Amino acid sequence: MVREWDPKTASADELRSMLDSLNAVLMADLPDDPLWQESYLREYLAETMPGERRISWLAEEPGDNGGPPRVVGHANVLLLGDIGVVELLIHPKARRAGLAREMLAQAARKTYHEGFSVIGAEVVGGTPAVSFFESVGFVREYTETRSVLRLNSVDWLSLGEMARGIGAGYRLEFCPGGPPDDLLDAYAKAKAELREIDDGDLDLRPSSYDPQRLRASLDCLHRRGMKPYIVLAIHEKTGDVAGLTEVVVPAQHPTRADQYDTIVVQDHRGYGIDRAIKARMLFELRSAEPKLAEVQTWNAQANESMLKVNAELGFQADREWYEYGADLADILRRLEHGV
């Protein structure tokens, strides 16, 4: 049975069964990834940015001996801007029975009736989701490389030299929780550099560039149980934010952190800022998060300079991640008529 589902009001049994299904997917498709924990799971699934909405569905099968139903599928669509972004997870034992098509059809139909004409999906390379989304008409439009750094393999002596290897006239600041209010405008201005880059990214994980929306984004992260850490490079003469790097440690998988945007403002490139801020971040994380074992990050394959910095820090390329897009009317036609 597939039904629309609200994680805000879900029972503890439903959340626990959904978590079991998610971890079964991870063990089958991404066996090297850490399993998720129950901490802040409800908030992770329910909280969104202002102006965005998430609609979710569950697929269940009867429990054993009259017990509660078991979750065998979960789908959600995040409605943001002019696109709906769908996520779909099917328990390995429930695959190849048409459940993925049924759940995607419900999500696509709802998105279409909400007034959207385009749907996107982020898909991990090397998993069954790749062939599924392509089979129903999604088109691959953007590719990133995920890289993972295992902290027990870090050469901390060399890393210290990298953290100190920044040009004269700059200082580094560590900001747990997010940038202080007096640097928020400068921080948002530095993040706006990303808007000038047209690399084909569909913005399925959009950044915030406006100071007010940036603050709302940070507040949303905290509500979802995701602790942000930021290292800034400050140009001492002007007080401008010359570079920044962001890491989030999720309560749902606290042994592996997610490194988000790393940006060096155009006028301040060539001074070793990118390498220094990422190295400094690793030192701060070692102190602030003693249980942390790994950091993962994503980079466009064309971003050779950042891929090189990651390699120098010890990151190892892991998997490709794909962004897919599709016309909603076409997807519905294919799903509903068996095309």
- Written as one string, the DSSP assignment of 96-134 is TSSHHHHHHHHHHHHHHHTT--EEEEEEETTSHHHHHHH
pLDDT band, residue 205 (cuts 50/70/90): low
Residues 233 and 134 in one domain: no
**How confident is the model over 118-136, as a mean pLDDT?**
97
DSSP secondary-structure letter at 204?
A: S
Enumerate the β-bridge partners of residue 299: 145
Beta carbons within 10 angstroms of residue 323's beta carbon: 22
pLDDT at 202: 54
Residues 303 and 333 in one domain: no
**How confident is the model over 45-68, as a mean pLDDT?**
92
The answer to whether residue 140 is domain-embedded is: yes
The answer to whether residue 149 is domain-embedded is: no
Residues 117 and 198 in one domain: no
Residues 330 and 215 in one domain: no
Residues 199 and 58 in one domain: no
Residues 122 and 51 in one domain: yes
Domain that holds residue 59: 2-144+323-337
The answer to whether residue 318 is domain-embedded is: no
Residues 186 and 264 in one domain: yes
Residues 201 and 300 in one domain: yes
pLDDT in tens, 219-275: 999 999 999 999 999 999 999 999 999 999 999 999 999 999 899 999 999 999 999
pLDDT band, residue 65 (cuts 50/70/90): confident
Q: Give the Cα separation of 332 and 311 in Å (integer).
A: 42
Task: CATH number of the domain at 99, please.
Answer: 3.40.630.30
pLDDT at 200: 56
Residues 131 and 8 in one domain: yes
- State yes or no: pLDDT of 198 exceeds 60: no
pLDDT at 66: 75
Q: Give the Cα separation of 33 and 294 in Å (integer).
A: 10
pLDDT in tens, 147-174: 999 999 999 999 999 999 999 999 999 9
Is pTM beyond 0.85? Reply is: yes
Residues 190 and 222 in one domain: yes
The answer to whether residue 71 is domain-embedded is: yes
Residues 127 and 163 in one domain: no
pLDDT band, residue 289 (cuts 50/70/90): very high
Q: Give the Cα separation of 170 and 268 in Å (integer).
A: 10
How many domains, the chain? 2
pLDDT band, residue 302 (cuts 50/70/90): confident
The answer to whether residue 150 is domain-embedded is: no
The answer to whether residue 301 is domain-embedded is: yes
The answer to whether residue 131 is domain-embedded is: yes
pLDDT at 271: 95
- State yes or no: pLDDT of 204 exceeds 60: no
Residues 197 and 139 in one domain: no
The answer to whether residue 103 is domain-embedded is: yes
**How confident is the model over 52-81, as a mean pLDDT?**
93
Enumerate the β-bridge partners of residue 297: 147, 259
